[in-house]
């Protein structure tokens, strides 16, 4: 008899040690990336292409990626949320943190929740490019709603909607599509052989 535990809806809720280690490892790695991207954000968002302030949300996709990647690899309830939130936590404390301070915890919560809800919507059974894109999109949408109140409360309603649109686009392209093809690349490299994503790659070859 298998030692895996399944819920009444049929998805695997049993976490192996390697699942927990991988979530933590991904969270730390993405946390460092988040911190570095935060340092680049200020000079980048002043470029001419971002002279329309809401368009700076196009830079947000990088911060949405951890949850999508964690969900695509681990494929179990809570994995997307945990990976994103750990990454946000690491970026808060590494090398003095970011310019946003402890509000990054709130961002990690909403971004992780958005990514997680899409995997839940599909009962943790579908992990294709469309699901990845939707996961990135909802993560971006929830983060945008949070930022309406936390960072851009003075925006007009039209600017807030534009901010939402730009965030969703970045979530789809950077976190969704980028995360999906990153996982595919890791699988081809043999890094994910202990996970379904890696085994799927073997059957495709």
What CA–CA distance (Å, rounded) separates 177 from 131?
Answer: 10
Q: Where are the domains of the chain?
A: 17-179
**Model-level pTM greater than 0.85?**
yes
What pLDDT band is residue 152 in, cutting at 50, 70 and 90?
Answer: very high
Show the tokens assigned to 42.
């200020």
Q: What is the pLDDT of residues 26-43, one digit of tens each?
A: 999 999 999 999 888 878
- E strands, the chain, where? none
What CA–CA distance (Å, rounded) separates 195 from 130?
Answer: 20
Up-side HSE of residue 140: CA atoms within 13 Å toward CB?
Answer: 30
User: Would you give the DSSP letter of residue 74?
Assistant: H
Q: What is the pLDDT of residues 66-115, one digit of tens each?
A: 999 999 999 999 999 999 999 999 998 885 666 777 889 999 999 999 99
What CA–CA distance (Å, rounded) separates 196 from 6?
Answer: 16
What CA–CA distance (Å, rounded) separates 28 from 3?
Answer: 29
């Amino acid at each position: 008899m298998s030692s895996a535990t399944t819920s009444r809806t049929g998805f695997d809720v049993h976490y192996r040690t390697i699942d927990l280690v991988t979530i933590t490892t991904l969270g730390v790695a993405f946390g460092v990336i988040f911190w570095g991207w935060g340092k680049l954000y200020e000079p980048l968002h002043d470029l001419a292409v971002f002279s329309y302030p809401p368009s700076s949300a196009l830079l947000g996709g990088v911060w949405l990626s951890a949850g999508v990647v964690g969900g695509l690899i681990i494929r179990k309830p809570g994995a997307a949320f945990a990976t994103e939130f750990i990454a946000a936590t690491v970026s808060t404390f590494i090398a003095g943190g970011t310019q946003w301070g402890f509000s990054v915890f709130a961002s990690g919560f909403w971004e992780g929740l958005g990514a997680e809800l899409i995997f839940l919507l599909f009962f943790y059974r579908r992990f294709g490019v469309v699901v990845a894109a939707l996961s990135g999109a909802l993560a971006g949408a929830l983060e945008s709603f949070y930022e309406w109140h936390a960072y851009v409360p003075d925006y007009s309603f039209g600017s807030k909607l534009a901010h939402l649109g730009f965030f969703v686009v970045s979530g789809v392209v950077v976190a969704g599509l980028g995360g999906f093809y990153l996982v595919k690349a890791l699988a081809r490299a043999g890094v994910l052989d202990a996970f379904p994503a890696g085994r799927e790659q073997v059957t495709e070859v």
